[in-house]
Structure 1
Amino acid sequence: MNLLINNNTALIICNRSHLPNGLFLNLNSHHIQQELFKRQIQASQPLKKKLWQQTIVEKITNQGILLEKITTSKNSFHFLASKVLSGDTTNMEAVAANFYWKSFFEIDFKRERFGNYPNNFLNYGYAILRAATARALSGSGLLNTLGIHHKSKYNAFALADDIMEPFRPIVDETVHTIMHHYDEQNLNTEIKSMLLQILTRTVYFKNEKSPLMVALQKTASSLQQCYTGKRKKIKYPKLWN
């Protein structure tokens, strides 16, 4: 376990149902971690609201692109993204999510954490994405407990939950593909392996492309620079070229 930590590896523990149940991360992953924690804690509300606005614009935009790919029909997600205010005070995230999930699957589906299939597939994929995001943030010297929007006192990974939002459609796309190739409705080794491969999926920055796991590190580093005043926006990649 120490060797894993020394190599900044996120270790996920699963429960008896084989679902992710815990996360083990490096607490000493950056040489100026105390200074970065201080900057993060002192971040102003206007900054955090702007960062959350940008994050939700990216999420809704990505949902719209994926939905058009799947349904082959135009949608209004670009318009919804343009209506996101600072801090998303009008909750356009929820407006978009409501339409997104009603249209995404060919079956009657309601997105719930403990809901019916394929919620179990989505949950597993999101847990992998959350762990990879938390690892990247920890590696950039940031405190996962302190989010820019998520604030629950019981959530140790609030910042990871914030930053992973625009990347969720990668999991959605993978689950959609699995459903069209497999009749299995329970998680098995093969399906878990396919979901794990999201970490090596290619995403795109302006002049380069990289695996998702590397892109998350770049995104986390850019957030760190937002806290230290070197940047004004988080560097999110495009999920499709």
Structure 2
Amino acid sequence: MIKKTLYFSNPAYLSLRDAQLVIKLPEVENNPSLPDTMKCQSLVTKPIEDIGLVILDHRQITITSGVIEALLENNSALITCDSKSMPVGLMLPLYGNTTQNERYRKQLEASLPLRKQLWQQTVQAKITNQAAVLSACTGDMSKCMYIWANEVRSGDPENLEARAAAYYWKNLFSDITGFTREREGVPPNNLLNYGYAILRAVVARGLVISGLLPTLGIHHHNRYNAYCLADDIMEPYRPFVDRLVFDLYLKYGADVLLTKEIKIALLSIPTIEVNINRKRSPLMVAVSQTTASLYKCFTGELRRIVYPDFNGSF
């Protein structure tokens, strides 16, 4: 079953009762101009077990320690946002799998050649998905992208990932003069930042559930990055976010702002339909298959990570 994403952008009081998340909205409850029938709707409950991701985007949200404990025990991820409504914090369960220690050891013992091969597969899947997005959004058949994907060697020593990315961004948003993918860049970079933050949380959650350390990457290794492995594994999933952002860019224009309406659209990322193992699946479920396959690669049961593609998506 696909887990729900809950987004809070107004004052709220979140508590726990009988394994249910109790949501109280003081703005509704304390408004004298509203009828009592509407005030009854200020109190909502949601089963904790149905929740996969919670996003807190308001400074006047109160959440009890009981709620946090229950969310983490049910392998939910909790995101907090800053004053600019951008995700700034991520809380994940410490123990997402019953054989945690064994799985950590398998991950830590992974050889350098294996990690390089896994990164090769990751880059190939990413470039192939980027090529599919370019073809669908711009009509560019991107033959060079497929050639680069096939030429990626173990560890990607030629850094074909970067070459493909430069071509990809230049052509995906070709209507925007000099567009580059930068965190502080012009729109729709703001939408991409937000979408990737949600995706990162979904992937980090999947890794923890599979009993893996999100910190220890197969390629990324920044000493200040607590989610190197999540940043590795999310790479082939980024083009699914890019496609959604491209559609929003066409609808709202080049100067699109990160409004509440846009955020709601981006919150659909965990439920985006993807093709994985020749079957259609919500992105959050597909991530679980990817992270489970990654562990099996560490144990030697599999030789390839299972990644999604755009086959039949357009």
TM-score calculated relative to the size of structure 2: 0.75
How far apart in 2 are the matches of 1:207 and 1:56? Answer: 20
2:287 maps to what in 1?
A: 216
What are the Cα deviations for residues 198-232 of structure 1, in whole angstroms up to 9, with x where unaligned?
21011112342110000000000000111111111
How does 1:141-156 map onto structure 2 within 5 Å? Answer: 141-156=211-226
Whole-Å Cα distance in 1 between the matches of residues 95 and 141 of structure 2?
47
Indicate whether 1:164 and 2:234 are aligned.
yes
Equivalent residue runs for 1:67-78 within 5 Å: 67-75=134-142, 76-78=144-146
Contact 2:237 2:308 (C-alpha < 8 Å) held by counterparts: no
Shift >6 Å, 4+ stretches:
none
Deviations 1:107-147 (A, max 9, x none): 12111112121111100000000000000000000000100
8 Å contact from structure 2 (residues 236, 308) kept in 1: no
Partner of 2:268: 197
**CA distance in structure 2 between the partners assigned to 1:131 and 1:207 by the alignment:** 25
Shift of residue 34 of structure 1? 0.7
Root-mean-square deviation (Å): 1.0
When Rg is computed on C-alpha atoms for both structures, the one with the higher figure is 2
SS in 2 for 1:166: helix
After superposition, the C-alpha distances for 1:152-197 in whole angstroms (9 at most, x for unaligned) are: 1100000000000001011111111001111462211110111111
Q: Return the letter of the residue paired with 2:270.
A: L
2:168 matches 1:97: no
Measured in 2, the distance between the counterparts of 1:29 and 1:71 equals 41
Distance in 2 (alpha carbons) for counterparts of 1:68 and 1:116: 23
TM-superposed CA distance for 1:25, in Å, is 0.1
SS at match of 2:80: strand
Q: Return the alpha-carbon distance in structure 1 between the equivalents of residues 183 and 198 of structure 2.
A: 15
Q: CA deviation at 1:240?
A: 3.9
Residue 70 of structure 1: how far off its partner (Å): 1.2
1-side partners of 2:225 and 2:132: how far apart?
Answer: 30
Secondary structure of the corresponding residue to residue 267 of structure 2: helix
Q: For the Cα contact (< 8 Å) 2:277–2:306, is it kept in 1? A: no
Return the alpha-carbon distance in structure 1 between the equivalents of residues 215 and 80 of structure 2: 19
Instruction: Name structure 1 gaps, 5 residues minimum.
Output: none
Give the SS at the match of 1:162. Answer: helix
Displacement of 1:3: 1.1
Could you tell me which residue of structure 2 aligns to residue 140 of structure 1? 210
- Residue 239 of structure 1, CA deviation: 3.0
The structure that is strand-richer by fraction is 2
Work out which of the residue numbers 107, 111, 120 in structure 1 matches 2:176.
107
Contact 2:207 2:230 in 1 (8 A): yes
Work out the CA distance in 1 between the residues paired with 2:280 and 2:241.
Answer: 19
| Paired residues, number | 241
Picking from 299, 304, 312, the partner of 1:228 is: 299
- Greater per-residue helix proportion: 1
Q: Indicate whether 1:50 and 2:114 are aligned.
A: no
The sequence identity of aligned pairs, in percent, is 49
- Please report how far the alpha carbon of residue 72 of structure 1 lies from its aligned counterpart in structure 2 after TM superposition: 1.0
Q: Secondary structure at the residue paired with 1:87?
A: coil
From 79, 84, 94, give the equivalent of 2:152: 84
> Amino acid of the residue matched to residue 124 of structure 1?
Y
CA distance in 1, matches of 2:127, 2:304: 17
Q: Distance in 1 between matches of 2:219 and 2:140?
A: 32
Unaligned residue ranges in structure 2 (runs of 5+): 1-67
Q: Distance in 1 between matches of 2:96 and 2:292?
A: 13
- One-letter amino acid matched to 1:85: R
Hey, what's the Cα distance between the residues in 1 that align with 2:188 and 2:264? 16
One-letter code aligned to 1:120: N
CA contact (8 A) 2:275 2:310 kept: yes
Instruction: Decide whether aligned partners of structure 1 residues 174 and 143 sit closer, same or farther in structure 2, where only a CA change above 3 A counts.
Output: same
Counterparts of 2:224 and 2:160 in 1: how far apart (Å)? 25
